[in-house]
Amino acid sequence: MALLTVDNLSVTFTGNNQRPVRAVDGVSFGMDEGEVLGLVGESGCGKSVTSLALMGLLPTRGVEVGGRVHFDGTDVLSLPSRRLRDMRGSQLAMIFQDPLSSLNPVVPIGRQVTETLRRHKGMRGRAARDRAAELLDRVGIPDPARRLTEYPHQLSGGMRQRALIAMAVACAPRLLIADEPTTALDVTIQAQILDLLGELARSEGTSLLMITHDLGVVAGLCDNINVLYAGRVIEVSSRKQLFASPHHPYTAGLLGSVPRLDAPRGEALTPIRGSINDTIDWDDGCAFAPRCDHYTMECLTGTPELVRAGEGHQHRCVNPVNLDPGSAHADRPDPVAEGGNVR
């Protein structure tokens, strides 16, 4: 049975005197026990908002959440906050993007680890401290007993992220959500943290939802990958197939597998032109159309469906690439000029 099922999740921010922002627009995916799933998308496409929704951490005021999230058969979105708190930290845990700002600056590292153990395992005093030291050791922090008494500012960036990981895995959660856990770190440290996460997930059998804007990050780690664009899943695939033959032009662009012939010589490859702001409403058609080199009029007649194309491979595109080479169309109307509702 699936451990996590996300069905048509939508999140809309309804600020006081601004028009509503739909940050997540009908995201659906599932995760099995022990699976390592990558959730990939550009900055601003709704990755963090999705992960906060899964954790039940979105603010209660000014946010509308739709759809369903089932974790181990429990409906997370309608769970009373007490039950949700019991689940958070013990079954579901999360690692955040910026380790420095995610740690309390005035509380020793040790206390920040033991407070989780105390809350969910009832461990206190010596037992909790010993367990915390074990956890720090487990995530590769040298001299853990001394580190327990130190404060976040005394640790390096990589060590801070390791400490956050130790806190997240303290109660052996079944699902670990990592929201861009390496973005704030430098490259060599990034690789170490990714190795650690992969190794922890595999050895403990923890499911890992790896959220990133960088396909390179998930390349070595994930079993399956979901690609997100403008608040929707646009491609679902095993890692192998995705890298071998991405079907959605956006994914293909991310992978740089579709070199643009008109790119000036000597210029670095810019896989996708435009930015996430060049988009149209999903209700009017494919949100990627303004940036797509493959669009046709069909792309602008309502939301493209997520269609299956092979074993475990789905895409949301009417003119998928890498299926058969002749499918790309030559006539490309300007979707904005065609009456697309530009956000």
Ligand X SMILES: Nc1ncnc2c1ncn2[C@@H]1O[C@H](COP(=O)(O)OP(=O)(O)OP(=O)(O)O)[C@@H](O)[C@H]1O
**CB nearer another protein, residue 98 or residue 278:** 98
Q: Tell me the residue nearest to Mg ion as measured from the CB.
A: 48
Q: DSSP string of 160-223?
A: HHHHHHHHHHTT--SEEEEESTTTTS-HHHHHHHHHHHHHHHHHHT-EEEEEES-HHHHHTT-S
| Residue 153 contacts another protein per CB under 8 A | yes
| Residue 319 contacts ligand SF4 per CB under 6 A | yes
| Residue 74 contacts Mg ion per CB under 5 A | no
Q: DSSP string of 131-147?
A: HHHHHHHHTT-SSHHHH
Residue 79 interacts with, from another protein, ligand SF4, ligand X, none (CB under 5-8 Å by kind)? none
Binding residue for ligand SF4, selected from 47, 179, 292, 340, defined by CB under 6 A: 292
| Residue 45 contacts ligand SF4 per CB under 6 A | no
- Nearest 5°: the CA angle 226, 20, 54 is 35
Residue 286 interacts with, from ligand SF4, another protein, Mg ion, none (CB under 5-8 Å by kind)? ligand SF4
Q: How many residues form the binding site for another protein (CB under 8 A)?
A: 31
> Least separation, in Å, of the C-beta of 319 and ligand X?
25
Count CB-CB contacts under 10 A for residue 264: 6
| Residue 288 contacts ligand SF4 per CB under 6 A | yes
Instruction: Name residues contacting ligand X, limited to 14-53 (CB under 6 A).
Output: 21, 23, 41, 43-49
| Residue 78 contacts ligand X per CB under 6 A | no
| Residue 183 contacts Mg ion per CB under 5 A | no
Binding letters toward another protein, positions 39-78, x by CB under 8 A: -------------x--x-x---------------------
What b/e sequence results for 84-99 when a residue is b if at least 16 CB atoms lie within 10 Å of its CB, and e otherwise? beebbbbbbbbbbbbb
Residue 120 interacts with, from ligand X, another protein, ligand SF4, none (CB under 5-8 Å by kind)? another protein
2: left (phi over 0), alpha (psi -120 to 50) or beta: beta
**CB nearer another protein, residue 156 or residue 270:** 156
Instruction: Name residues contacting Mg ion, limited to 34-53 (CB under 5 A).
Output: 48
Rounded CA-CA distance 46/10 in Å is 10
Q: DSSP string of 259-305?
A: --TTSPTTSPP-SS-S-TTS-B-GGGS-TTGGG-SS--GGGGSSPPP
Q: How far is CA 13 from CA 60, 80, 85, 283, in A?
A: 11, 21, 23, 18
Q: DSSP string of 89-102?
A: TTTEEEE-S-HHHH
Instruction: Name residues contacting ligand X, limited to 190-229 (CB under 6 A).
Output: 213
**CB nearer Mg ion, residue 37 or residue 292:** 37
> Least separation, in Å, of the C-beta of 46 and ligand SF4?
17
* Tokens (6 digits) for 184: 């704030």
Q: Answer for the pair 162, 178: CB distance below 8 angstroms, yes or no.
A: no
Q: Answer for the pair 24, 228: CB distance below 8 angstroms, yes or no.
A: no
Q: Which residues contribute to the site for Mg ion (CB under 5 A)?
A: 48
Q: Which residues contribute to the site for another protein (CB under 8 A)?
A: 52, 55, 57, 84-90, 93-94, 96, 98, 101-108, 115-116, 119-120, 151, 153, 164, 167-168
Q: Which residues contribute to the site for ligand X (CB under 6 A)?
A: 13, 21, 23, 41, 43-49, 213
